[in-house]
Amino acid sequence: MNPTGLEGIQEQLPLGQNSEQPKYWDPSLLVGVPRALARGVEGIDASKFEGYDLWNCWEVSWLDLQGKPITRIGQLVVSADSPNLCESKSLKLYLNSFANERIESEAALIVRVSDDLETVLGIKPKFCLYALDDSRFVVQNPKGVCIDRLPVDLAVYEPNALLLQTDPSQVGAELLHSNVFRSNCPVTGQPDWATIVVKYEAQERLFPESLLAYLVSYRNHTGFHEACIERIYGDLLGCLNPTELVVWAGFVRRGGLDINPVRSMTPINFLPPRLVRH
């Protein structure tokens, strides 16, 4: 397994450990992981991008003051500038610790969650609650051209930026996506599947076959969702020298959560849609 940056702290993380179901609200369940750990081993320069991580939280429920359960879908947006990530299982346990908690209003819950997460993340996140039938959670297909039917001849499944190739005779301006991306969790070693979307404009066109080969090369790579997308962004930035570049991923839901990192050259006002594997 490749270095992950977690060496020495992995036993402190709840993911992969046996955990009791919390009975009541417990902010001490939240565990932060410094972004610098993964960025260091992946060679990521965080000054090269803007962005955020969108978490869809599908297990949010609490009691009103009369003891009646209320259920919502939570959306958590964390800036890529935050010093820390929130370890995913710790967030799952924390959100489920509200199951027997009486709370006077949705607004009160939002304030409590935002304040608790700020302590762990080192930055104030944006946390919102939505009804289960909110139209933003209707399943959509990613826009642009799917590259998954293109041929790939690959024998080594570790990320290699040299796989990215361009055509200097053509200007590039494309929106491409692939549904075959796989990497592996640095804590449990279990596979993480995702749809990757790339939008770029550059003086040279990226061969779509080379992008697919490059994305497939992550198949046995171990890394956090966020660090994988930042590395993909950085390698595309170095290859294309683009005037516009946006890379985002919709990772398959695990443990009642899905994580959708978005990285771009400039600030972007865009939230990834719900995809079929969310």
Both tokens of 225, joined, read: 């969702």
What pLDDT, on the 0 to 100 scale, is given for residue 170?
97
Q: Which stretches does DSSP call E strand in 50-132?
A: 50-63, 69-79, 84-86, 126-130
Tell me the whole-structure pTM to 2 decimals: 0.92
CA distances from 233 to 12, 104, 125, 186, 240 (A): 30, 43, 23, 20, 10
In 3D, which of 164, 167, 275, 182 has the Cα closest to residue 221? Answer: 182
CB atoms under 10 Å from CB of 136, counted, come to 12
What pLDDT, on the 0 to 100 scale, is given for residue 169?
97
Domains of the chain and CATH, by start = 20-137 (3.30.1130.10), 145-264 (3.30.1130.10)
What pLDDT, on the 0 to 100 scale, is given for residue 145?
98
pLDDT in tens, 55-79: 999 999 999 999 999 999 999 999 9
**What residues are paired with 201 via a beta bridge?**
173, 244
What pLDDT, on the 0 to 100 scale, is given for residue 10?
55
What pLDDT, on the 0 to 100 scale, is given for residue 5?
63
Q: Are strands 191-202 and 244-251 parallel, antiparallel or unpaired?
A: antiparallel
Tell me the catalytic residues. 185, 192
CB atoms under 10 Å from CB of 32, counted, come to 17
Grouping H, G, I as helix, E, B as strand and the rest as coil, residue 214 is helix
**Cα–Cα distance for residue pair 106/244, rounded to 1 Å:** 38
What pLDDT, on the 0 to 100 scale, is given for residue 21?
82
Give the residues of the chain that fall short of pLDDT 70.
1-2, 4-18
What pLDDT, on the 0 to 100 scale, is given for residue 20?
80
